[in-house]
Structure formats: structure tokens, C-alpha cells
Amino acid sequence: MIITIASFKGGVGKTTTAIHLCQYFATRKPKKKVVLADGDPNRTAIDWAESSQFDLPFTVQDAAETLPIYNTLIVDTPARTNPEELIQLIETSTLVIIPTKVDIFDVRATLALADTLRPNPNKYRILLTGLPRGKKLYEAARSLFTEQGLQSFDGGIRQLAVYRDAAYEGIPVSRYSEAGKDAMTDYEKIGSQILKGWKNG
């Protein structure tokens, strides 16, 4: 299975999503080889892994280098995928995940891609990130996507300080603290939707 994380804006949680979905799959299926391929020239995921104080259960490497044999490959991309690149990613991936903050500008940036996404309903999911307390913005964003015929994951990722704190130490949040374990349940719910929907991918 190849999962690509792409977005039309930076700072929406792509790299954080790549790391935590790798952590989820590697923990859930310890015998399977999980690889995070860093396609961002900023090498954010590689630098994160190199700074890690923790023995990661998955491999992080440069997407431009030869990949090891894998069961699950998660590809992190730089900001600002354009529509042509998105079509390519949809072709080469089992699933493209599009993290989008609940902020209205970010939601509109994703809505602008509706024509590219709509014909491929099983090849992508929008993932709402940076969720504040309360469901109001989450529900508003989801209904905008649904009105446009766009597919989004059920649930999303809360805005929580533990992501930044854990990133400093190169640790997935689930290994960082009790608050981190609670934060991780958001990614676990997304991971289990992926296992149900794309397990044969």
C-alpha cells in the first residue's frame, strides 16, 4: 500500500500525519515493514528521525533514494501540490491523504481542487487537522466538502500542544506522555478507517 500525504498549503500537518500514521501501522502490524519516504527538500521527516531519542519502529528515508522492500509506504511531500501533480499522485498511490486545517482559507484551497478529486472518490480522503474544541468548525468544514461531492475522513486531528513538544524530541506523541497517548487516538481512528477501506491496496 502506498499512501501519499499532499496539500496545497504548508503547515497543515503533512509531516506530522506521515509520522503518526507510520507509527500507527508499525505498531498495529509489527511484522510488516513500514517506510516513510521524505519527498520534501527541507528533509523535515529525515531530520526529525535523525534527532530521535527513540528507536522508531519504521524507517525514514529520502524519497529520491532506492527504497527498501516495504508493506506500507507513506510518502511525505513538500507544500503546494498543483492539480497536475495531484493527478499523478492519485495514479501512483493507493490513497492520497490531503490534510486541511479547519480554517476557511485552507478549506477553500482544498475545495478549489474539487474537479480534480471528484472523479476518483476511492483514491483520496481529506483529513481535517488543527481542530479546536467543539464540533462547530469541523461540522461546517465537512458539510462544505460533502456539498461539493468531496470525501473526508470521519473525525480529524485536534490542535494539541503535545505535537510540537514531542516533535522537539523526535518522538511520536504516543510515546511522549499520557496527553500524547490521548492525542494519538485521533490518528488511530484515521488509521483504522484506512485499514478497513484500503486493506487490499
Minimum CB separation from ligand ADP for residue 147, in Å? 25
The whole-angstrom separation of Cα 117 and Cα 98 is 11
Interacting partner of 160 out of ligand ADP, Mg ion, none (Cβ under 5 to 8 A depending on kind): ligand ADP
Nearer to Mg ion, 48 or 124 (CB): 48
Between the alpha carbon of residue 121 and those of residues 3, 105, 110, 151, 192, the distances in Å are 15, 23, 15, 7, 18
Is residue 106 within 8 A of residue 100, CB to CB? The reply is yes
Enumerate binding residues for ligand ADP (CB under 6 A).
Answer: 7, 10-16, 44, 79, 129-130, 157, 159-160, 163-164, 167
145: β partners: none
Nearest to 73 by CA among 87, 64, 84, 60: 60
Is residue 167 within 8 A of residue 48, CB to CB? The reply is yes
Nearer to Mg ion, 107 or 167 (CB): 167
Interacting partner of 157 out of ligand ADP, Mg ion, none (Cβ under 5 to 8 A depending on kind): ligand ADP
Nearer to ligand ADP, 16 or 72 (CB): 16
3-state secondary structure of 72: strand
Interacting partner of 159 out of ligand ADP, Mg ion, none (Cβ under 5 to 8 A depending on kind): ligand ADP
The whole-angstrom separation of Cα 67 and Cα 155 is 32
Minimum CB separation from ligand ADP for residue 4, in Å? 13
Is residue 7 part of the contact set for Mg ion (CB under 5 A)? no
Is residue 44 part of the contact set for Mg ion (CB under 5 A)? yes
Interacting partner of 32 out of Mg ion, ligand ADP, none (Cβ under 5 to 8 A depending on kind): none
Residue 105: partners with Cβ closer than 8 Å, 6 or more residues away: none
3-state secondary structure of 45: helix
Residue 6 grid coordinates: 499532499
Is residue 15 part of the contact set for Mg ion (CB under 5 A)? yes
Instruction: Tell me which stretch binds Mg ion (CB under 5 A): 10-18, 66-74, 92-100, 101-109.
Output: 10-18
Residue positions counted in the chain: 201
Nearer to Mg ion, 44 or 152 (CB): 44
Sites of contact with Mg ion (CB under 5 A): 14-15, 44
